[in-house]
């Protein structure tokens, strides 16, 4: 155990200047209730003596900290790490620091994280909930009623407060419409877990696009599942079996798995089978065939979440998804590169 015995405090500065700690505190806080002359003296002394405010003491006294907690399922998922990066940039600029917690999709870990953040008296929490949450009732219960909460990406609509969402329904609509326009006719979907609203919305967009085009919505080619490579592979095998000629995948890794299956079966992508993924992970543009993907803007989403907190907003921001058309859905070279 170490002790920071050598830290300069406002009492030290006060003693050095022959004034009281209160005045020093006020001077450093930029209070108008202090003479210009004393302020300058204090600032000079603080600098010379190497003073740095003890944020722990300050936080205790004020009953709140300048920490913002961010809770994500997994830090090292490309999507979430970009969100964290964007949020940290904005928050740091505004004088906040970021405490990160990962739930690994476990509701229990989420509750623990929320309680921890509450114990730190964090100034706010940015949250993307665990996929295995059955609902959001535990969230305010664990966090308490007072700490501002911004939900992003995976949001519970019935929890009041700011929400930063992707335009999932619209995006999936556009992705599916694109497949239809490219000439595919029997389009299945790897839909993801229906425990998260965002997947429900993507499925709704998919369905709407089919309906608007006069195509039937066939439950047997909707694959509810996780969106990892392995599941995409299996779902694609079933989709082939079911006579599909395209898949809209609610994730890029499931799209990748689908392409694995199609390659294995000797089915040409995009000529005989179209694939669109979601998230615009970096590999989608690099691989061959490059994968068309419904891009999210995670860095921007993180920035937006941070701003929503900073501005004390409680509205919902919807961030568009961008459809990147690449080889995997480019039937008959319709969209020349």
Choose, by CB under 8 A, the member of 37, 288, 332, 336 that binds a copy of itself. 288
Within 13 A of 242's CA, how many CA atoms are on the CB side?
Answer: 20
Judged on CB neighbours under 10 Å (0-12, 13-18, 19+), 50 is: exposed
Task: Count CB neighbours of 7 within 10 A.
Answer: 11
Binding-site partner at residue 146 among a copy of itself, DNA, none, CB < 5 to 8 Å by type: a copy of itself
Choose, by CB under 8 A, the member of 9, 54, 106, 195 that binds a copy of itself. 54
Choose, by CB under 8 A, the member of 9, 38, 81, 106 that binds a copy of itself. 81
Binding-site partner at residue 144 among DNA, a copy of itself, none, CB < 5 to 8 Å by type: a copy of itself
CA distance 270 to 329: 5
CB of 23 to a copy of itself, least distance (A): 22
Cβ distance 186 to 245 under 8 Å? yes
CA distance 4 to 40: 27
CB of 71 to DNA, least distance (A): 23
Residues of span 231-270 touching a copy of itself by CB under 8 A: 256
Does the footprint of a copy of itself cover residue 8 (CB under 8 A)? no
Residues of span 56-85 touching DNA by CB under 7 A: 57-58, 60-63
Q: Which residues 6+ apart lie within 8 Å of 160 measured at CB?
A: 314
Judged on CB neighbours under 10 Å (0-12, 13-18, 19+), 117 is: buried
CA 211 distance to own-chain centroid: 30
What x/- string results for residues 21 through 50 when contact with DNA is judged by CB under 7 A? Answer: xxx-xx-xx--xxxx-xx------------
Using omega within 30 degrees of 0 as the cis cutoff, is the peptide bond preceding 240 cis?
Answer: no
Cβ distance 205 to 176 under 8 Å? yes
* Region binding a copy of itself by CB under 8 A among candidate stretches 69-77, 129-137, 231-239, 328-336: 69-77
Which residues here bind DNA, judged by CB under 7 A?
A: 4, 7, 9-11, 18-23, 25-26, 28-29, 32-35, 37-38, 51, 53-54, 57-58, 60-63
Instruction: Give the footprint of a copy of itself on this chain (CB under 8 A).
Output: 1-4, 6, 52-57, 59-60, 63-65, 67, 74-76, 78, 81-82, 84-86, 88-89, 92, 97-102, 115-116, 118-121, 144, 146-147, 256, 282-283, 286-288, 299
């Amino acid at each position: 155990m170490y002790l920071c015995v050598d830290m300069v405090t406002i009492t030290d500065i006060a003693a050095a200047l022959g004034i009281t700690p209160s005045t020093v505190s006020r001077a450093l806080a930029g209070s108008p209730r202090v003479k210009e002359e004393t302020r300058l003296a204090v600032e000079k002394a603080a600098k010379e003596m190497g003073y740095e405010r003890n944020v722990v003491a300050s936080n205790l006294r004020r009953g709140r900290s300048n920490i913002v907690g961010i809770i994500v399922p997994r830090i090292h998922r490309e999507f979430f790490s970009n969100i964290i990066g964007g949020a940290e940039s904005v928050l740091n600029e505004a004088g906040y620091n970021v405490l990160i917690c990962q739930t690994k999709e476990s509701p229990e870990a989420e509750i623990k994280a929320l309680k921890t953040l509450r114990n730190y008296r964090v100034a706010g929490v940015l949250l993307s909930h665990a996929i295995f949450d059955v609902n959001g009732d535990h969230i305010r219960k664990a966090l308490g009623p007072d700490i501002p909460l911004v939900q992003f990406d995976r949001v519970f609509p019935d929890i009041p407060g700011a929400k930063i969402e992707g335009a999932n329904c619209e995006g999936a609509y556009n992705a599916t419409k694109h497949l239809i326009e490219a000439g595919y006719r029997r389009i299945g979907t790897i839909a993801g877990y229906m425990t998260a609203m965002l997947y429900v919305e993507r499925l709704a967009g998919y369905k709407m696009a089919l309906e608007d085009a006069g195509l039937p919505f066939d439950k047997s080619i909707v694959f509810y599942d996780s969106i990892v490579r392995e599941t995409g592979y299996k779902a694609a095998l079933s989709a082939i079996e079911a006579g599909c000629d395209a898949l809209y995948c609610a994730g890029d890794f499931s799209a990748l798995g689908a392409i694995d299956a199609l390659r294995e079966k000797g089915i040409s992508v995009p000529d005989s089978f179209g694939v669109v993924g979601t998230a615009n992970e970096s590999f989608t543009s690099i691989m061959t065939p490059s994968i068309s993907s419904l891009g999210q803007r995670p860095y921007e989403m993180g920035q937006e979440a941070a701003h929503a907190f900073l501005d004390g907003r409680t509205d919902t921001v919807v961030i568009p998804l961008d459809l990147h058309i690449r080889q995997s859905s480019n039937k008959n070279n319709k969209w020349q590169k």
